[in-house]
Every structure is written in C-alpha cells, then in structure tokens.
Homo-oligomer: A and B are copies of this chain.
C-alpha cells in the first residue's frame, strides 16, 4: 500500500519525494500549495488575525516548560552543531565525516539548546510571555514543523511538513466561540467543494500513552477534534488548550491565565486529499482564492 502510494507520488514531476520523509514542489502543485494556504489566510482574515513569520528553531527551554520532552521524546528533532574547538573540528574534518552507510561520524557536540518546532503555534506563547490581554488576541502563522516517525509516506506522514494555524488567546468563552465558529466555517467549505471529511475526537500521540496522565485526561475530556479524510487521514484539527499555555507562559486575560485554542491545517495532507478527491488535472479542481 505504502509502496504503491510512493510510486504514485514520485510519478508526478511537480512533486519530488525524499527518502528522508520530505517533499519538494514545483509547477501546478506549488501553485496548489500556495492556493490552499491563501484559503487558510483568507479564513484567518475573517477574525483579523495578525500574521507572523517565525524561525525554524524554538528554544528547548520553551518546550521543557510544556513537559514536551517527557510527553513526546519519540517525535522531537534537535538541531546540533559540532563543538567549535579547533581540535574538535579538525578531527572531524580530517577523519571520515561520513561512514559507508551514509551516516555522519559526529564529533563532540556543542550544547544543544534548541529544537525544530513540532507545531506552528508553539512560537506564539513564548513570544507573548507575560502579556496582559485586554481583549481576545487572534494570530496566524505558517511554519515548517518536524516530527520524527517510524515510517514516512509522501504527503501523508513526513518528517517535516507545513502547518498553518489560526490561534485565539482569550477567556474560555472567547476561545470556545472562536473554535465553534471556525468549525462551522470549515464544515461549510467541505460541503461546498465536496471534500469527504468527518470530524472525529482524537488524542495526541503521547509516548507510553497508557501511563501518561495528560493522555488519560484527554481521553476523559477530549480537547482535539480532527478533520478526517476518507476515514483514515487527519488533514487538520481544532484544539482547545484550556489555560495550559496561559499558565506556562504567564499570559493573562480578565485577570486569569488566558485560555487558548487553535485551528491547524497540514498543507501537504490537504494536497494529498485534494489530488485524491479531485484528480491530478488542475482543470477539474475547485477554485481557490
């Protein structure tokens, strides 16, 4: 099944699939990528969300605050460099930097203080640390996100992929209204273009899930609803964070830790659903902004 899908993806000369779990785009597929993101941006515009462009790395300390390393150690990717000591660099450069299998023979590493962000909205909470909000705050960003998986499938499950998020920080009522409004908005769009999506309650992929209190809490009181294509692939999700980020980063709204929630879209997965539902001929695709 996976092999068949990989073949099908690599047959398209506007899409190149790398064995390391990543995609390159050109031509009509690159236009589709931008068209789909323009659609999300137009939705973000409906709540006047301010757009941000973030860097690739997040300080590891920000993720530690969220207990991410204990919850998702299997997913995380770190950017590392060699200790800059000249002897260390010389030993690396003058030895065999790469072994026969294509793996790098690393030398001593410099301290590792960053991560490759696993989600787009994680950039916002450290940025807004300590802020006192006098109304709901709506923001959006598109980020390349990184999650190591046991195996990769072109467009469907990648080590790095593009995520657009629309985020609201505010009172519980403000965030709930934001999430409900977007769920209706997006459902209407799926009906209009005829994309076969069902909404399903879901949990995050915790490490050692049965023993993780955060997982058990999500099972008891679901906070994540996914847009599931053909009963098997989540192409986006709506997430209610309660006041988890507000507490961790001391962001306050109405004198309490702010609540927050996000609407998240995986662009490569949207492209997969789009091509599966509407075919590879752009003439038959629904119009995008």
Q: Which residues of A contact B (CB under 8 A)?
A: 16, 18-20, 22-27, 30, 33, 50-57, 59-61, 64, 69-71, 73-74, 76-82, 84, 89-90, 92-94, 97-98, 101-104, 106-107, 109-116, 123, 127, 144, 146, 148, 150, 159-160, 207-208
Q: Are A82 and B76 in contact (CB under 8 A)?
A: yes
CA distance A60 to B106 in the complex (A): 12
Main secondary structure of the interface of A (DSSP, over half): mixed
A154: min CB distance to chain B, Å: 12
CA distance A102 to B89 in the complex (A): 24
10 interchain residue pairs of minimum CB distance: A22-B55, A69-B97, A103-B111, A81-B148, A104-B112, A73-B93, A64-B98, A70-B93, A73-B89, A26-B52
Q: Are B22 and A98 in contact (CB under 8 A)?
A: no
Provide the residues of chain B in CB contact with A159, threshold 8 Å: 57
Q: Are B101 and A56 in contact (CB under 8 A)?
A: no
CA distance A158 to B105 in the complex (A): 26
A132: min CB distance to chain B, Å: 16
CA distance A56 to B161 in the complex (A): 9
CA distance A150 to B53 in the complex (A): 25
In the complex where A18-B59, A26-B52, A82-B76 touch, is A64 in contact with B103 (Cβ < 8 A)?
no
Q: Are B113 and A56 in contact (CB under 8 A)?
A: no
In the complex where A69-B92, A93-B207 touch, is A56 in contact with B103 (Cβ < 8 A)?
no
Q: Are A112 and B106 in contact (CB under 8 A)?
A: yes
Q: Are A113 and B104 in contact (CB under 8 A)?
A: yes
In the complex where A30-B52, A52-B30, A98-B69 touch, is A82 in contact with B89 (Cβ < 8 A)?
no
A76: min CB distance to chain B, Å: 7
In the complex where A20-B57, A98-B61 touch, is A78 in contact with B76 (Cβ < 8 A)?
no
